[in-house]
Amino acid sequence: MENDRNPYKLCFILKSILPAIATIIPIIIFRRFAFGTYKNKQTEAKKIEIKGDGNYEGLRLFLNDIVSIHSSDNYVEVFYISNF
């Protein structure tokens, strides 16, 4: 065996790949967390809230779930899709 130093041995591969993995993994984790937070903020922005005068008179809906809204004087009818 003339060339005992084989660059494709497992030890050589691990020594070259582990620092790259140790650098990339935290970046990926941070990116996923930041993207998830941004996605939740986008979802919150697509909601509509209708408030009433009483304590339990309020409604918060996604804009995609609203079918129609009708008003007459001081009454409001809201038709929406319920997922329950």
Model confidence pLDDT, tens digit, residues 17-51: 888 888 999 888 888 877 776 666 666 668 888 88
Burial track 39-66 (b if 16+ CB lie within 10 A, e otherwise) = eeeeeeeeeeeeeeeeeeeeeebeeeee
pTM: 0.42
Question: What percent of the chain shows pLDDT beyond 90?
Answer: 7
Range of the domain at 28: 8-45
Q: How many domains does the chain have?
A: 2
**pLDDT of amino acid 9:** 78
Is 41 a member of any domain? Answer: yes
Is 52 a member of any domain? Answer: yes
**Is the per-residue pLDDT at 74 higher than 70?**
yes
Per-residue tokens: 47: 């909601």
